[in-house]
Structure 1
Amino acid sequence: MSTAHENTESIFRLFRALKLDISDAIKDLFPFLEVLRDNNVISDEQYDDFQESHGNLIPLHKVVYRVLGELEVKHDLEALGLLFCKQNMEAYPDLEGIFERFKNVLPHDELHLEEIDRGDLNSQLSLEQGPAPAHQ
């Protein structure tokens, strides 16, 4: 039987392996950055920095990869789940295949994946992680 920590580590190993694929799937910074900023995953300063980087002609996939690096450092399942929120799944259809790969590492005995909206990995990961801490 695996522990929640082992499951979290498996999810983040897969995330690390798929960061490049995710960065290629995201074709525009909107709504990607807004979702992260509005959910306090990145600060307003980080948001502005990422927008400015792209405005300074840094290729989009490199900016997105930097953002994903921030998510990796946080090691926060809720933040990771925001990648697959409804807004992002609709804006970036290429995330669908990546989302399916994440579903393969989630504990099927603990989660009823068929009952959860395909675009709401956040709720799945929240079950894995437990109650979210209060945001300040």
Structure 2
Amino acid sequence: MFTEIFKTIRGIKPFFLLVIFFTLSLMVFDEGVALLDNPIAWRSLLIPFMACFAYGLAWGWVFFVIKASHILPQEDLANLGFLVACSVMVFALLITFSYLSNNHGSISLEIFKKPEFIYTCTLYIMSMVAFDVAAS
């Protein structure tokens, strides 16, 4: 089951995944765990509006990484876009390792229901998009 899910997710471009997870993060931030307990609620009607806002946030992130990548001259060996992407990835890894070290015996599918999981996945996807943008 998980392999099919991961194959499907792998086929989606990281930018669209970022919009999806920004939307999820906004919905969970606004509603909390109650939205994850009952996804068929009246608040779900806000998803298209939150997706539009998330689309703007995703383009803002891409624009930020592009600007960071082009601040330095072309002959400079450093790339601030990669630095931003690496920083976000390291922060997401720190959160993941901290969670795993503190909850080593209680990892289950309940983790998908926690807002922190959605936020951490959003950070991972932000770094993936930043790597893509910085490399181009």
TM-score by length of 1: 0.27
Of the two, which has the highest radius of gyration?
2
TM-score by length of 2: 0.27
Relative to total residues, which structure has the larger helix share, 1 or 2? Answer: 2
